[in-house]
Structure 1
Amino acid sequence: MFDNLILDTDSYKASHWLQYPPNTTAAFSYVESRGGRYDRTVFFGLQAILKSRLGRPVTHEMVDEAAALLAVHGEPFNEAGWRRIVDVHGGRLPVRIRAVPEGAVVPTHQALMTIENTDPECFWLPSYLETLLLRVWYPITVATISWHVKQTLRAALEKTSDNAATELPFKLHDFGARGVSSQESAALGGLAHLVNFQGSDTLSAVLAGRAWYGEPMAAFSIPAAEHSTITSWGRPNEVEAYRNMLTRFGKPGALFSVVSDSYDLFHAVRDLWGGALRQAVIDSGATLVVRPDSGDPVTVVAKTLEILDETFGSTVNGKGYKVLNHVRVIQGDGVNPVSIAAILDRIVADGFSAENLAFGMGGGLLQQLDRDTQRFALKCSAAKVDGRWIDVSKDPATDPGKKSKAGRLTLLVDEAGTYRTVALAEGQAPEPGWRDAMVTVWEDGALLVDQILAEVRARSEA
């Protein structure tokens, strides 16, 4: 139903081929974040969109379907233009897409990718593809949120842990698969998170890593209880439910997570885990990860750590902070960038190392965002009319923040890592001291740069 590339656009786009000036032969568009919640973004996800959507050739059957549908829908249809793409280009779209390398961390208000046609008869195509290509806002925004949380966690770990480098990749776990609108969102958003971390319960993201970025195993998980597997034992047998988890998964060197607030979290932590089962936990050689799942996250996590310290004890690390023995905590309820910072501030103030705690983030990671979180836009910045390039831009008096850039744009970077968007004429080289930060990743239906997840991760970390 949704495999027809021609119909993967906004309805009004079908009429735009009739609206350009006479003798237009080329159009040039760019994508940028015009500001937003964060001052920089992590570029990611274009390759996934190119492989999954643009890699499929257009066929005459697709043109037939689009012509019939749009005739009834009320829009004119450029049938001749699309037939040309099939007959002359073998169904491959005659466009060139340039972009910064995936994983690059780029300040806002800079061009991140550009699109232009390579066939003069298809000048209308870059704008037509806006709907499809601008969806890159979603993985970029997820990767950006995840990256900024990583910096919060990094700072806390570097202050309070002797093992910041090894702990950091597993401190934010993706719990978001059930909270997004589709499996495609889970795959693309979940993989965007894995640019920065290696923990996830979103299996679709693992599959996406294999399919789109050559990564055999993008993330790891551990056995974990949910409320149904605990409450099905009945409240009088709560301790037996926990004992079963310990028997099944409590092996030397293993980790397993148990939600422990189905009834009374602090009773479970103090009297069951820290009382009846305490010695069994210690003897197992495993690490028990206690999961609170209700209440105020800041106070609940702090109290849980306090009780676990009383019952299992702790050691003081080289940074002077307490590290629990045999147990850890994961907080997955009410987790977002703001609450993570608040929780970390509280436990550090209480003398606990950040390595005692991990986070599971669901809706706040994959769903509580939109295109305006980072104010993404794709705009035409140049057109070739009567054989010469002209600047194209908008500058609405009612909203200066929507002013767009003009010219054939690219993104330059200097040795210090400073970025600057500039307009260059065809064939014009950057000025000395600057180099082009963009590369051609797609041209005339072919992927020219196939990036693997390891490379993307290295860029975002750098």
Structure 2
Amino acid sequence: MRGGLNPILAVDSYKASHKWQYPPGTEYVSSYVEARADNSGLDLPGTLVFGLQPLLRTLAAHPVGEADIVRAARLFAAHGVPFHEEGWRHILSRHGGRLPVEIRAVAEGTLVPFSNVVAQVVNTDPQAFWLTSYLETMLQRALWYPSTVATVSWAVKRILREFWLLTSDDAEGSLDFKLHDFGARGASSGESAALGGLAHLVNFKGTDTVEALLAAEEHYAEPMAGYSIPAAEHSTITSWGRQGEVDAYANMLEQFGGPGRLVAVVSDSYDVFHAVENLWGRELRAQVLDMGGTLVIRPDSGDPVDVVSQVLRLAAAAFGSTRNSKGFRILNPAVRVIQGDGVNPKSIRAILARMVEDGFAIDNIAFGMGGALLQKVDRDTFSWAMKASAVRVAGQWRDVYKEPVTDGGKGSKRGRLALVRDPAEGLRTVRLEDCPAGEDLLRPVFRDGTLLVEDSLAQVRHRAYFGR
């Protein structure tokens, strides 16, 4: 299939047999998606919904074709599971290969409390009642991963804002560059790097994940979603040899320094404390101050709380500091620190708490987060699930639900659903028949193969900001 996606095969194998498992006379199946619970340990109020639009754009642009059906028939026959070829040929002949479903979803960038519907799917052709649940594999993947990354990133921004309010006089916009995405190399695939990196860019504007920039341009009309600066890695520094360490640092300043410019230099290849105190702080001090830009020192090993504390203290001794109106120290603007090793939401809080104890403002530091941002999440982080909640059989709608005695947390919702804004309770899920006209926050985004809503990244960022 063009675009690299055949929706017939983007599925769990057992879905292929489900058409024959519904009650006779089934006409419509309505299912919903939710993040059931916070298992992250971050004590979050909800999940920041993001990432459905790229899948829907792909489905709208590339209807199912004859070749897709032929390939699926051949594969499933060899695989040992039944294949409803007649149903897919009906979709091809009756709908031109466009999927006869309606998807309603909350606007991307919305913070939705856990255990609330974020999307709802129902077939629009009664002959395709089996299609709703068939799409679960694709839809769950499209939502759980980018939404989880966006939520973790949002959680970090909330932590950063807490310490910004406590220690900083700087403009709040500076928070947009306090967490940098270092996760591309640790992602499970290029697609994961693109979608996860893009999810991070809902909250921040610093990234080294180039594929995320391409995804933002392609799927969210954002010509440049994030920014970076020249930076050294250990290979470029250690290629000068231990005796040439100071020359490697000097070269970085000569190549990339200048008025208004930032350059990041990893400084722990041998002894980060010696590098800060003696190489940066003495031998290259004049060059750092004279270049008119900012040297960003990057420690990359050791206990991050203790190492950052010592590096800030040594940098302050070497380059000086001032106190802001809140009484916290800010390094000479020629020098800043970025911590990219061992960074996760808990270590960020611990580092910032230690900085407060030491009297340093958040202005002095930025963070780079890799695996903990893009890779150390899974579907269970927020217990994502898609469940059928209503079916129409022989003209009558009836509730569908599960209620296992062994795990109350896996009970599912009943009926056709809506998401409403309650003045007292915030967002909450209600039955569709109990929702006043025009108040359902689940808006139609896809119907019969057509994309109905296309948000820009700017719109998503706006919602996420005001949902803090």
| 1:136-163 Cα distance to aligned partner (Å, 9 max, x none) | 1000000000001100000101111111
Residue 404 of structure 2 is matched in structure 1 by 396
Q: After TM superposition, give the deviation of residue 416 of structure 1 in Å.
A: 6.1
| 1:88-131 Cα distance to aligned partner (Å, 9 max, x none) | 10110000000100000111010000000000100000100000
1:235 has 2:242 as partner: yes
Residue 412 of structure 1 is matched in structure 2 by 420
Q: Secondary structure at the match of 1:342?
A: helix
Q: After TM superposition, give the deviation of residue 415 of structure 1 in Å.
A: 4.6
Alpha-carbon distance in structure 2 between the residues aligned to 1:315 and 1:394: 61
Alpha-carbon distance in structure 2 between the residues aligned to 1:168 and 1:10: 41
Structure 1 portions without partners, runs of 5+? none
TM-score normalized with structure 2 length: 0.96
Alpha-carbon distance in structure 2 between the residues aligned to 1:49 and 1:243: 47
Aligned residue type for 2:35: S
Alpha-carbon distance in structure 2 between the residues aligned to 1:59 and 1:384: 29
What aligned pairs does 1:133-212 form with structure 2 within 5 A after superposition? 133-135=139-141, 136-212=143-219
1:444 has 2:448 as partner: yes
The question of whether the paired residues in 2 share the 8 Å contact of 1:24 and 1:384 is answered with yes
Residue 381 of structure 1 is matched in structure 2 by 389
Structure 2 portions without partners, runs of 5+? none
Aligned residue type for 1:169: D
Aligned with residue 356 of structure 2, among 336, 348, 368 = 348
1:372 has 2:380 as partner: yes
Alpha-carbon distance in structure 1 between the residues aligned to 2:136 and 2:385: 9
The question of whether the paired residues in 2 share the 8 Å contact of 1:154 and 1:164 is answered with no
Residue 22 of structure 2 is matched in structure 1 by 20
The question of whether the paired residues in 2 share the 8 Å contact of 1:442 and 1:448 is answered with yes
Residue 251 of structure 2 is matched in structure 1 by 244
Residue 91 of structure 2 is matched in structure 1 by 85
The question of whether the paired residues in 1 share the 8 Å contact of 2:401 and 2:413 is answered with yes
The question of whether the paired residues in 2 share the 8 Å contact of 1:161 and 1:319 is answered with yes
What aligned pairs does 1:37-436 form with structure 2 within 5 A after superposition? 37=40, 38-53=44-59, 55-135=61-141, 136-325=143-332, 326-415=334-423, 418-425=426-433, 429-430=435-436, 435-436=439-440
Give runs of ≥4 in structure 1 deviating > 4 Å: none
Q: Secondary structure at the match of 2:273?
A: helix
| 1:376-396 Cα distance to aligned partner (Å, 9 max, x none) | 000000000011100000001
Q: After TM superposition, give the deviation of residue 328 of structure 1 in Å.
A: 0.3
Q: After TM superposition, give the deviation of residue 164 of structure 1 in Å.
A: 4.1
Residue 30 of structure 1 is matched in structure 2 by 32
Q: Percent identity?
A: 59
Alpha-carbon distance in structure 2 between the residues aligned to 1:445 and 1:343: 49
Q: Secondary structure at the match of 1:5?
A: coil
The question of whether the paired residues in 1 share the 8 Å contact of 2:59 and 2:449 is answered with no
Aligned residue type for 2:448: D
Q: After TM superposition, give the deviation of residue 319 of structure 1 in Å.
A: 1.5
Q: After TM superposition, give the deviation of residue 54 of structure 1 in Å.
A: 5.2
Q: Secondary structure at the match of 2:403?
A: coil
Aligned residue type for 1:92: R
Q: Secondary structure at the match of 1:372?
A: helix
The question of whether the paired residues in 2 share the 8 Å contact of 1:30 and 1:115 is answered with yes
The question of whether the paired residues in 2 share the 8 Å contact of 1:5 and 1:54 is answered with no
Q: Compute the RMSD of aligned alpha carbons.
A: 1.2
Alpha-carbon distance in structure 2 between the residues aligned to 1:371 and 1:414: 28
| 1:152-198 Cα distance to aligned partner (Å, 9 max, x none) | 00010111111141210000000000001100000000000000000
Alpha-carbon distance in structure 2 between the residues aligned to 1:233 and 1:82: 62
| Number of aligned residues | 458
Q: After TM superposition, give the deviation of residue 437 of structure 1 in Å.
A: 1.2
Aligned residue type for 1:73: H
TM-score normalized with structure 1 length: 0.97
